[in-house]
Structure 1
Amino acid sequence: MERIIHRVYNERAFRRERVIRDRSNPLDIYNDEELIERFRFCRRDLFELIEELSPDLQFVSDRNAALPPSLQLLIALRFFANGAFQNTVSDMVRVHRSTACRVIRRVSLALSRRIARYVHLPNEEEAAAIKERFRQASGMPGIVGCIDGTHVQIQAPHENEYLYVNRKGYHSINVQIACDANYNIINLVARWPGSTHDSRILRESALLQDFEEGRCNGLLLGDSGYPLKRWLMTPLIAPTTDQERRYNTIHSATRSVVERCIGVLKRRFHCLHGEMRMHPERVCTVIAACTVLHNICIAKRIPLPRHHQPPAVPEEDVRQATRPEDIAGRLVRAQLINQL
C-alpha cells in the first residue's frame, strides 16, 4: 500500500500542472492609433468585425477558459499584421503557442467563408463608376480592372515540393489578383503552386468564364504574360508607331494600379511579405482572409500605419515571350490605339 501511495505521489510530482494564465485584452490598453499600428483596425471597426465573426468563433461553453471571439480575432490580426512566429503572437495575450495556432486557423476559415461577400466582380452600376474613374485617370475607355500575379513565399512542403519552386528559385503560392481603380480586389485565385504560369491560372479560373460569357462587361489590363483577348488588353511587344508607343505608355501607367494594390496588401498584412511556415492549403486560407480584410479596410478608408507605405512600382518589362492573341482582341486593341 505504501508503495502504491509513493508511486502516485511521484507521478503527481512530475506531472506538469495545468496553468490558466491571466490574459490581457489589448482593447483595454491601446488607443485607436496604436490599434491600427498593431491590428490594422481601429476600435469601432474591431467591434464590428467581432460582431460579424462571433457566430463562427464562439465556443459552445466556457469550459477550459475558452477564448472569447474578441481575443481570437486580435490574435489572428496580430499574426496577419506582423507575420511573426506564432509563439510571439501568443505571448501578446498570454496563451500557449498551440492555442494561437488553432485560433489563427479558426479566424482564417471564418474570414475566407465571407470572400464571396467582399471579393466579387462589380455590378453594372459599380462597373460604370470604375470605368469613369479609369477614363479620367488615363483616357482609356471601358476599363473595369487590372490583373496580375504575385508570389507568397512558403516553407518547402513535404509533398510535391518541386511544384512550388517558382522561376526565382524559392517556394511559393502563385496568387492571381484583379483590382479596380480604388485598390479594391475584385477577383482572387489563391490555390496554385509557384511554378504555375500566370496564363494557366487565368485559363483555369472562373474569371475567364465570367468575361467570356459576358457576365462582366468591360476590359481588363494585363501584362504581356497574359494572352490578348477581346476583354483582356496586353501591351504591344514591338511598337512601331507613335500611337502604339503611346498606348504602351498609358497601358503600363494604368496597369500599375494592381502593382500598388499588391504592395498595399502585403504592407498592410506583413505575413504575406515574408516566408509563411504553414501547409500550402493553410497558406491559401490565410491569403483569402487577408484579402477580405484588405477590402474591408479599403471600404472603410482605413489608412496604412505610418512607416508601412507600399514600395515603388517597378517598370514593366514587355519583352517577354508572346502569348496567344485572338483576332477579336487585336481589333479591340487597335480601336483603343486609335482612340488614344
Structure 2
Amino acid sequence: MNEDEFIVDFFGNLLEELEAATVDPPRRRVPANLDPFSFSDAQFIKHFRLTKSLVFDLIQIIEPVIEQRSRIDIKTKVLCALHFFGTGSYQTPSAKLNCLNISQPSASRCISEIVDALNHPNVFGTWIRFPSTHQELHEISRSFYTAYGFPGIVGCIDCTHISIVPPQRPFEERSYVNRKHYHSINAQLICDSNLKILNVNALFPGSTHDSYIWNSSNVLPVMEQLYTSGHQSYHLIGDSGYALRPWCLTPILHAEDGSAEHRYSEALKKARSTIERCNGVLKGRFRCLLKDRVLHYKPNKATKIINACCVLHNMCIAHNVPDPGMPPDEDLGIIPQQPLSRDGETSRIFFLNQARVKQNLIINNYFN
C-alpha cells in the first residue's frame, strides 16, 4: 500500500468511527399509557377498589365541589387517590402506576384535592349520616332483629386505631401514643347491620379513651333525647368498654352458661360483631388505614383521609362492590378498654338502674 492509499484508508476508517459515534444511543422503551378502563373488572377493582361505573358516579358526585388546583383531568385525580387509598403504599407507587404516569408531587396534589372533595359537607353529609327519622330507626332495628334476634338495635359502636407518623408541633406528640405504644388516631365508628357506617369521629389522638370519644359524640345527645322523649326501645350496642346506659347496652359479664342472661349476652356479642366486620372490610378495602401502612400526614389531614375512606366504603356497600378481603394476621387496631363515665354520681346511678331495668325486660321477653 502506497502513502496515498494509506492516507485514504486511514481517514475513511476514522470517518466511519466518527459517524458511528454520533448515532443516538438506543433509548429505553417506555410503555404506552394504558387506559385503566381497559382493565378487566377484577383488575380494575384490585387497583382502584371501586367498579368502573362507580368511579364515573364518584366523578359526577365530586365534580361540583372539587377545587381543581392543577391541570390534571379529574378522572386521573380520582384514580390516583383511589389507588393510594386502596394499596396504602404511599404516593410513589400511585404516581408510577403505568396507566397514570404522573409525578409524585402531582400525585400528592391529586390525593389532597380528592380528600378535600370527599370531606365537603355536601358529599360527606350525604354518605355518612345517622338516621334522623323514626322510620329510618325502625328499619335499622328490624334489620338487626331479623339477623340476630336482638330487639331495638339502631347501631353498633366501637373504636379503631389508625396509625400515623409522630406529629410535630403544634400537635402534642405524646397524646397520639396509644396503649399499644404506636402513634395513632382513635376513630369511633357506628354501623348498621349491612356494615354501612352511620357515624365516624376521627378527631381524637390515640391515647384518648373510647368512652371519652363517645361522651363527646354528636350521636350521644340524639340517643339521650330519644330515650327521654319516650322512644325508649332504641339503643346502640357496644362492648364492656362502654358504660351501660339505656341508650347503649353492653354484655352482662360472667353470666352463667345456659342462663337467660348468657343468651342475652351471646346474642348481643353476635350482633356487635357487625362493627368488627365493618372495621375489617373498611381497612381491607382501603389499606392506607392498616397499622403497618402508617399515614404520613399531620393529624388533621389523616382525619380527612379516614373520613374520605368511610365515604367510599359506604358507596361500595350501597353498590355491592366485592369485598377484597383482609390480608392475613393484620392488626385491626381495636384496643379493649374499661368503661369511663362522664356522668355525675347521682345521674350515673339513675341511668345505670334504668339500663338494668331495660336489660331485664329484654331478657325476660326475648331470652327466657
- Shorter-chain TM-score above 0.5: yes
Secondary structure of 1:332's aligned partner: helix
After superposition, where does 1:205-224 map in structure 2 within 5 Å? 205-214=217-226, 218-224=234-240
Note the alpha carbon deviations across 1:68-95, whole angstroms, 9 max, x for none: 1100000000000001121111112222
Secondary structure of 2:219's aligned partner: helix
1:243 to 244, 260, 273: 260
Report if aligned partners of 1:118, 1:296 keep a CA contact under 8 Å in 2: yes
Report if aligned partners of 2:68, 2:113 keep a CA contact under 8 Å in 1: no
Cα distance 1:313–1:89, how it changes in 2: closer, same or farther (>3 A)?
Answer: closer
Report the equivalent of 2:285.
268
Q: Which amino acid aligns with 1:201?
A: I
CA RMSD of aligned residues (A): 2.7
Partners of 1:332 and 1:312 in 2: CA distance: 37
> Quick check: 286-295 or 111-120, which moved more?
111-120
Report if aligned partners of 1:267, 1:310 keep a CA contact under 8 Å in 2: no
Cα distance 1:334–1:221, how it changes in 2: closer, same or farther (>3 A)?
Answer: same
Report the equivalent of 1:90.
95
1:285 to 304, 313, 334: 304
> Quick check: 202-211 or 21-30, which moved more?
21-30
Q: Which amino acid aligns with 1:172?
A: S
Report the equivalent of 2:118.
111
Report if aligned partners of 1:167, 1:195 keep a CA contact under 8 Å in 2: yes
Report the equivalent of 2:273.
256
Shift, 1:238, TM fit: 3.3
Cα distance 1:175–1:59, how it changes in 2: closer, same or farther (>3 A)?
Answer: closer
Cα distance 1:25–1:203, how it changes in 2: closer, same or farther (>3 A)?
Answer: farther
Note the alpha carbon deviations across 1:78-135, whole angstroms, 9 max, x for none: 0000011211111122222111111111101100112111111123223222212211
Q: Which amino acid aligns with 2:56?
A: F
Report if aligned partners of 1:76, 1:107 keep a CA contact under 8 Å in 2: yes
Cα distance 1:291–1:255, how it changes in 2: closer, same or farther (>3 A)?
Answer: same
2:62 to 33, 53, 74: 53
Note the alpha carbon deviations across 1:311-336, whole angstroms, 9 max, x for none: 8999x999x64555622212111211
Report if aligned partners of 1:25, 1:71 keep a CA contact under 8 Å in 2: no
After superposition, where does 1:315-326 map in structure 2 within 5 Å? 321-324=338-341, 326=352
Secondary structure of 1:214's aligned partner: helix
Report the equivalent of 2:52.
43
Counting matched residue pairs gives: 313
1:296 to 311, 315, 318: 315
Q: Which amino acid aligns with 1:249?
A: E
Report if aligned partners of 1:237, 1:322 keep a CA contact under 8 Å in 2: no
Report if aligned partners of 2:37, 2:52 keep a CA contact under 8 Å in 1: no
Shift, 1:247, TM fit: 1.4
Cα distance 1:203–1:177, how it changes in 2: closer, same or farther (>3 A)?
Answer: same
Report the equivalent of 2:19.
none
Partners of 2:301 and 2:331 in 1: CA distance: 29
Partners of 2:91 and 2:279 in 1: CA distance: 24
Report the equivalent of 1:81.
86
Report if aligned partners of 2:166, 2:173 keep a CA contact under 8 Å in 1: yes
| Moved beyond 4 Å, runs of 4+ | 307-314, 322-325
Is 1:149 paired with 2:159?
A: yes
Note the alpha carbon deviations across 1:234-281, whole angstroms, 9 max, x for none: 112332571112211111111000000000000000000121111111
Partners of 2:241 and 2:316 in 1: CA distance: 30
Report if aligned partners of 1:152, 1:174 keep a CA contact under 8 Å in 2: yes
Shift, 1:33, TM fit: 2.0
Structure 1: give runs of 5+ residues left out of the alignment: 1-20
Q: Which has the larger radius of gyration?
A: 2
Partners of 1:337 and 1:178 in 2: CA distance: 24
Cα distance 1:224–1:313, how it changes in 2: closer, same or farther (>3 A)?
Answer: farther
